Amino acid sequence: MSKVKQVRGLIGVASAVGGAVSAASAVRAAKGKNDKLLLANAIASAAAALTGVLLAVRRFRKDEK
């Protein structure tokens, strides 16, 4: 795997992890305010972040073969 692909993969993982941290913070805030709409939005954001991490991991595994 080339260095450029590795760097791109790491950037993808880092941004997905950042999104997950942000989503977790939003979940805590929504629970504190007891706002169901904010909670639904935060859960959707967490799912998107998880998908991003899984896609990046799959890319790394695919490139290693």
pLDDT of residue 64: 65
Asked whether the beta carbons of 42 and 23 are under 8 A apart, the reply is: yes
Asked whether the beta carbons of 27 and 46 are under 8 A apart, the reply is: yes
Spatial distance between the Cα atoms of 52 and 17, rounded to a whole number of angstroms: 9
**Predicted structure pTM score:** 0.73
From first to last of its 65 residues, what are the pLDDT tens digits of the chain? Answer: 578 877 887 888 888 888 888 988 999 999 999 999 999 999 998 898 889 888 888 877 776 66
Spatial distance between the Cα atoms of 46 and 28, rounded to a whole number of angstroms: 12
